[in-house]
Chains A and B, each alone.
Chain A
């Protein structure tokens, strides 16, 4: 697809501004009624999905040019997808999130890149990770573990650690816990270790499509060489990339997030927790596991009209609107832990507020990123929970940093950390 393919979306936008809120039916308070971090932070209409569609149209029609303000408005967005859910509450013919992606890809393609993203992308190209860390240290987390190295052997299941977990010392425990659980379940498992490559998802979201494509091809080939049929990852970003983006690059592997894997074990009676964790927690749905974690449905088709002018698609176009996101598995896991009380935030599941880390925002706009995380922490506090729990290292890192900055007592956990404590 190209930006031009979304011209009709722009023309058919009605400026209803639903994209600025969570689904209106779900609003429970003034405080937590907002859905889009970008517009809440920057206020001009151009920082909403509707506004960006107009920007795209304005550029396509030659009414305006790419300026610093335009670049700022296009990139100061986590691409969290709340707008996609709310727009599609009443529309079957709009794809705002896909259009925002295309606008970003187009800007990067034309050389309008953020200077803050340049070193990140240079690191990605040289070091195969998004954190500018040495390649050789990527597999350090697995030192001492008895697990197959898929660079030299084969296994049906690959465990993909992801950049953030691999290099972030505060979060690494999630990886070893995951490996233990998968191996204890008797699964034929392997890892790529120091040869693991970034999924490329974050590069894609920053607008660097060719770089993403290379990463996808590299990983798909590595999995094929290792006989991998299933990829398991604890990272929501990687999960989304493998599940929703890689099929477009030819991948046919099954993709599971660790919370799905553990939830299955619990449902099958293969995992029982023995320790109690007396704590009140609230679960934060990562955008890429929740509303954007829906199954990929291949589609190639065209628009057609029925009843004169009603727009439909031939064949029917998949409707990604957050209905089939991964919401219950992490909650099942948390509910299964003795002593743990799970309470919901006002904005949850498809209506979740973003952690602030996605879309290249953490890298380019640290203040905005931290503000977004703080908003979520405030919401978590309003539930009187002791801890906010998630299933994505980028969310967790952003929350940890936010709580440190504000000296708040809210604890931050990964679901897998609590699993490990309860075993």
Chain B
């Protein structure tokens, strides 16, 4: 599909010729997306090509672009930092304009007194965290890491992360928001909508958080979020991170009022028990099952190996055979990371005592090797900044997440054995990385104060190997079946698979959801806000005929 010259010229008039392109190779750089090969015909690494890519620099330019999209019935797909196959156009038959928001990259305001920051879509978490830490504040960095857009996680997704236990997730932390709707109207939400400033999402002024996000986030299908305010939290650490260590394993010294632990438990009952106790006792600043992303069989060896700059990935093969590593692997088979931060020394000492008591009661322990200074400082760096999330891809460049259904610890532990068995089974033929059936990773709590967790199975496949890609796809299909046949809703893999499915297949699965009428309500919302259907199907709906 191609953009008419008239339409191209109108877009060009908005942003200037240097900020729009329809060069095929340039468009391919937007069509190429992580996960595409798992769902696209012939395992293509490319999603459908957009008809053009455009880079606005202001809300007004976004508004003008959206209006032209409506005029020519062109779909508009915004992208900020740009991860996931659904960030690209979804259907070959649609004319889709990719709106790259990277020129909208400013931190507009940090209101120290009222504890919020106002940002544009291309501000990433690492940038804002560095700036607000200078003022004694911190932000929740989402699980996908600090290279991600704050606006995207807060406005278009849920935005949980390792620090959500303390700071809440980014959809909670979203305050005022500026939204260019699919028809090109500008809506300012929450307190911003009543001219009162950015300080509140719900009012005085209109709240549209639920409308925008829908069930799982609008994911680029509901116009463009051009600015938002995000809530800041107190940061009891240093004003600047004094990073040490050798690339790539940077380390962050641990202040006296901080503690950094890797904690292990004997079984999944103890895991749930200890999570509840941590919630109840309100200890902890960052709470995450992080290092298990590399798999329970290989994780300890990977992280120790990673911390030695003289080693390569291949050295792990020998390392895992060493008796002390085997022992360590067994010791931390079910483990997670907990960073505690005290407002005072008495506070951190109290948290330490509480933790020791919890461990004694629940039968958990601190993993000595990972609590030693080198690994503790590495853990501190990793989780405070979340600057290594690309380790998801460390084995071979392909990673998909399965499971990840969220719920209470007792509920989540119910699917753990099924997820573990499923990965052992699917990796047994050697077409997926065999790192242990348990490569489950996730936030200690996805909401502030505890109460909801989830575990994502990290499945690694080779995107350069057709058989391995096929195994990845099959694993997703299997995981859906494993979940539903055991009474659990499908997990993250279903979202991935839907990108490659026909509308009718998606509708069939939505109809099987717990409350299918929600997707009819969402259709009505879409019809109201997007009458020309310029958003794609990532804002999930059911058509009227399926009622």
Contacts and interface: CB of A to CB of B under 8 A. Distances in A.
A11 B390 contact: no
Interface stretch (B58-66, B179-187, B306-314, B360-368): B306-314
Contacts of A308: 427, 430-434
Contacts of B102: 43
A58 B33 CA distance: 13
A383 to B, nearest CB: 14
Contact of B247 (A58, A69, A89): A89
B130 A15 contact: no
Interface in B428-478: 430-435, 460-465, 468
Nearest to A351: B247
A15 B32 contact: yes
B394 A90 contact: yes
A21 B124 contact: yes
B546 interface: no
Given A24-B385, A28-B240, A308-B431, A319 B247 contact: no
Contacts of A69: 21, 23, 25-26
Nearest to A58: B28
A157 B55 CA distance: 54
B388 A30 contact: no
Contacts of B519: none
B397 interface: yes
A2 interface: no
A58 B461 CA distance: 22
B390 A89 contact: yes
Contacts of B100: 43-45
Contacts of A28: 130, 240-241
A63 B46 contact: yes
Given A23-B247, A312-B314, A43 B19 contact: yes
Contact of A58 (B24, B246, B314, B460): B24
A89 B103 CA distance: 26
B147 interface: yes
A69 B461 CA distance: 34
A12 interface: yes
Contacts of B393: 12, 14, 16, 90-91
B30 interface: yes
A91 B26 contact: no
A204 B247 CA distance: 27
A118 B289 CA distance: 56
B486 interface: no
A25 B381 contact: yes
B55 to A, nearest CB: 6
Given A94-B397, A309-B468, A323-B246, A16 B390 contact: yes
Kindly state the interface size class of chain B when it binds its partner.
Answer: 35 or more
A93 B396 contact: yes
B81 interface: yes
B313 A93 contact: yes
B313 A310 contact: yes
B314 A316 contact: yes
Given A16-B147, A33-B127, A309-B395, A8 B28 contact: no
B392 to A, nearest CB: 8
A17 B24 contact: no
Interface in A302-330: 305-314, 316-317, 319, 321-323
Nearest to B248: A89
Contact of B241 (A15, A25, A322): A25
A350 B30 CA distance: 28
A311 B314 CA distance: 8
Interface string B312-353: 111111000000000000000000000000000000000000
B430 A12 contact: no
A50 B243 CA distance: 26
B544 to A, nearest CB: 36
Contacts of B29: 44-46, 50-51, 54-55, 58
A277 interface: no
A310 B460 contact: yes
Contacts of B175: none
B225 interface: no
A331 to B, nearest CB: 16
A210 B165 CA distance: 59
B124 to A, nearest CB: 7
Contact of B463 (A12, A21, A33, A310): A12
A55 B27 CA distance: 9
A88 interface: yes
Interface in A244-262: none
In this complex, which of B107, B124, B390, B398 has the most chain A Cβ atoms within 10 angstroms of its Cβ?
Answer: B390
B292 interface: no
Interface string B118-160: 0000011011101100000000000001110000000000000
In this complex, which of B128, B248, B389, B399 has the most chain A Cβ atoms within 10 angstroms of its Cβ?
Answer: B248
A7 B250 contact: no
B477 to A, nearest CB: 18
A21 B385 CA distance: 14
Given A24-B146, A91-B393, A30 B127 contact: yes
In this complex, which of B246, B247, B433 has the most chain A Cβ atoms within 10 angstroms of its Cβ?
Answer: B247
B385 A12 contact: no
A46 B26 CA distance: 6
Contacts of A51: 29
A63 B42 CA distance: 15
A161 B209 CA distance: 64
Interface string B377-403: 000010001111111111111110000
A311 B395 contact: yes
Contacts of A319: 312
User: Which 8 A/B pairs are nearest by Cβ-Cβ distance?
Assistant: A12-B397, A24-B387, A312-B314, A90-B390, A64-B24, A64-B25, A92-B313, A58-B28
Interface of B: 19, 21, 23-26, 28-30, 32-34, 37, 45-46, 53, 55, 81-83, 100, 102-103, 107, 123-124, 126-128, 130-131, 145-147, 240-241, 243, 246-248, 250, 252, 298, 309, 312-317, 381, 385-399, 427, 430-435, 460-465, 468
14 contacts: A11-B45, A14-B34, A43-B100, A55-B29, A57-B45, A63-B46, A69-B25, A90-B389, A90-B394, A92-B394, A307-B298, A310-B460, A321-B248, A322-B247
Given A21-B147, A25-B388, 19 more contacts: A8-B464, A11-B37, A11-B397, A23-B387, A27-B387, A28-B240, A44-B29, A57-B28, A57-B32, A63-B46, A64-B23, A88-B248, A90-B388, A307-B298, A307-B395, A308-B431, A309-B395, A311-B397, A313-B314
